[in-house]
Amino acid sequence: MKDQVLRLYRTLTGRRRQQLLARFKSAGTFPVAILFYHRVADTHANDWTMSCRDFERQIEWLRANFDIVDLAEAQRRIQAKRCDRPTVALTFDDGYRDNADFAIPLLIQHRLPATYFVSTEFVRHGSAFPHDVQAGQPLSPNTIDQLQCFAGQGIEIGGHTRTHCDLGQVQDTSVAEDEILGGLQQLEDWLGERPRYFAFPFGMPCNMSQLAVNVLTAGGVSGFCSAYGAWNWPGSPGVHLRRIHADPGLERLKNWLTLDPRKLRDDHELPFAESTTASISNQMSVHPTNLDVHQGTEFHAS
Ligand SMILES: [Zn+2]
């Protein structure tokens, strides 16, 4: 939908949104939003690039309206069965070099937490992602130095496989282990710390599997992210973390996060049993971070 149409839709559904807001507030059941970005830059725009200005506007709006928390705090609020404040967590996928120019410094400047998911082979070789090569835009990945710098300033680094493979297609346990655990081990070697979180490449239900979830469970991660567009409801296991794509502009983000009634349900069928993730949550540990939980002040549903 175009921005004007979306704005009109948001106005027309404003009353319903206000009712939902009041209900979540009084019951302490705000759903938690986990956003994912890929690349923030003003050159070589593509479907997974957002301009610096758009990113800045989104962060401004989020700071004014939401608690911006790290994934561990998001999990804590989900698992506590109670979330009485509008809450959002920020994540990035893949590991694009351009993010070191604007997006990550902006977050660090404002002391905002984020989790940065990296496919390690591209960093190791300094090579472009296959989907960018195919599109005729061989964009650079982050360097190891950049990741160490991010981590040193409180940005959490997470796993995203070694080669950005589609884990939904992997049926061989040793391949899944190599991609998932090999990527986590590589990050641990670079950063001196075992990553706590993992994001499935592509992130649709068909790109996930019980096999991969079993490998993640055995590997001791605290949680893993999908990317098919859904909220996280307080009281759910909170190990599978559902994410929402942060589209360019501001209007789509505002529409989603001010409780678009159409987007509250998650009817996706998952290729794994969420109950099998329960053992992961028992392994969660407290992680020191030097970035604050940012508290928003003025949430409006329209
Ligand atoms: Zn990815």
For the chain, domains (ranges, CATH) are 3-279 (3.20.20.370)
How close is the Cα of 86 to the center of ligand 1, in Å? 27
How close is the Cα of 164 to the center of ligand 1, in Å? 6
| Residues pairing with 117 in the sheet | 158
How close is the Cα of 110 to the center of ligand 1, in Å? 26
How close is the Cα of 201 to the center of ligand 1, in Å? 4
Local structure of 258: helix, strand or coil = coil
Walk along the chain (302 residues) in steps of 10 and give the mean pLDDT of each run. Answer: 91 96 96 98 94 98 98 96 95 98 98 98 96 92 98 98 98 98 98 98 98 97 97 95 96 97 94 72 43 59 52
How close is the Cα of 93 to the center of ligand 1, in Å? 5
How close is the Cα of 84 to the center of ligand 1, in Å? 31
How close is the Cα of 94 to the center of ligand 1, in Å? 5
Q: What's the pLDDT score for residue 274?
A: 84
How close is the Cα of 253 to the center of ligand 1, in Å? 20
Query: How many alpha carbons fall within 13 Å on the CB side of residue 135?
Result: 13
Which residue's entry shows tokens 């593509």? 46
Measured over the CA atoms of residue 103, residue 105, residue 132 and residue 187, the dihedral's sign is negative
Cα separation, 171 vs 44, in Å, equals 36
